Amino acid sequence: MMKTAASCVLGLLAGAVIAAPKDFGKLSDGREAKVWRIVGEGGLVVDVTDYGGRIVRVYAPDRHGNLDDVALGWNTAAEYEKYGYSMGTLIGRYGNRIADGKFVLDGKTYELECNETSPAPRHCNLHGGPKGWDSCLWKVRETKFEGAPALELVLESPDGDQGFPGKVTMKVVYAVTADNKLVVTYEATTDKPTVLNPTHHGYWNLAGEASGNVLSQELEICADEYSEITDGLIPVRNAPVKGTVFDFTAMRRIDALKPRMDADEKLAPTTHWYDHNFMLRGAVGEMKRACTMRDGVSGRELQVWTTEPAMQMYGAQNMDGTLPAKRAGAMYPQYAGMALETQHCPDSPNHPEFPSTVLRPGETFRSRTEYRFSAR
């Protein structure tokens, strides 16, 4: 079968290489961003920018070897700054929500800025605050990781950053392997006790970005429990998924239970869709499969493996068809992609029953997530 135009162009960079960085545009404060391209031996191609450490593009082959970009996003740094949605970014210091922007550590109360205050009753620190790691320019250098071409991104977050204690040094490595894995590793240290919960906030559409919504694609989540939430989207307790609309223990269409969700007023705070934490099977630090997403038309499959204890599933219900896509003239509709964020639980500092997110001096935070692409 004839290759797509993207396949032909990317074929000029055959083999495991990292292309020279290119300009990615200016931000409103005059900072200039760059974008790097990692080309893996197996055909997977990943573009990464220093602005927020974002994954901008992921070209994955379908069952015929044709490449298409399966990551939602934009073509310039200015668009990411303008439109938001945490699109494709590294999240820090704390992924997801901390209720009322407060937590107690070693007897001291820390107050963070609440950057999500509407609609009521939402009132929390979301994704680290209004100037989280998504707004930073990371230091980037080319490297190798387990023999694969990789980019190392480093950020120093000062003591008091967005209200969080301690100076944190964060290192993230993006690597593309010969068997089409995008490997993301996290490593951090601190000089004071703090809390830390980094993640990657990518949106996936295995049919190709700007191809429509993902409702007919399939998903399996390796979790027997999910976190029930308040109207403010803060976890209350973990509950069994069995018998609920959160039961993805077997592969099924993402929208299989949509009529039931539309009718459930308890889901109104999330626009009757998914913005929930799932507790993964397996121990913290143990490499385990978190989920599998599949598109039957292209044959593409994405398995997410992680050492994290949980995963947030967010279904892009707030996109409304007015958000431009990377593809010229196209728009992102509601449910345009699926965010599958490997992490510790939301609001963990206020839930001693959840796995701890405390990091202390002398300790090193380490985490690994793999996005394993294939086609069938």
Catalytic, 220? Answer no
Amino acid at 147: G
Alpha-carbon gap, residue 185 to 306, rounded angstroms: 10
Please give the backbone phi and psi of residue 81, each rounded to the nearest 5 degrees, phi first: -65, -40
Nearest alpha-carbon partner for 176 in 340, 7, 58 = 58
Contact status, residue 69 vs residue 330, Cβ threshold 8 Å: no
Nearest alpha-carbon partner for 374 in 302, 288, 293 = 302
Catalytic, 201? Answer yes
Q: How many residues does the chain have?
A: 376
Placement of tokens 């892009």 in the chain: 316
Alpha-carbon gap, residue 35 to 21, rounded angstroms: 5
Amino acid at 213: N
Nearest alpha-carbon partner for 83 in 311, 363, 319 = 319
User: Beta strands 218-221 and 288-294: pairing type?
Assistant: antiparallel
Q: In the structure encoding, which two tokens stand for residue 49, read together?
A: 């920018």
Check 201, 276, 344, 351 and give the catalytic one.
Answer: 201
Alpha-carbon gap, residue 91 to 89, rounded angstroms: 6
Please give the backbone phi and psi of residue 180, each rounded to the nearest 5 degrees, phi first: 65, 45
Question: DSSP assignment of 192-242, as one string?
Answer: S-EE-B-EEE-EE-TT-TTS--STTSEEEE-EEEEEEE-TTS-EEEEEE-T
Nearest alpha-carbon partner for 183 in 376, 40, 365, 21 = 40
According to DSSP, residue 69 is labeled E
Check 341, 344, 351, 370 and give the catalytic one.
Answer: 341
Contact status, residue 301 vs residue 292, Cβ threshold 8 Å: yes
The number of angstroms, rounded, from the C-alpha of 211 to the middle of its chain's C-alpha atoms is 20
Contact status, residue 36 vs residue 140, Cβ threshold 8 Å: yes
Contact status, residue 67 vs residue 55, Cβ threshold 8 Å: no
Residue positions annotated with a catalytic role = 201, 341
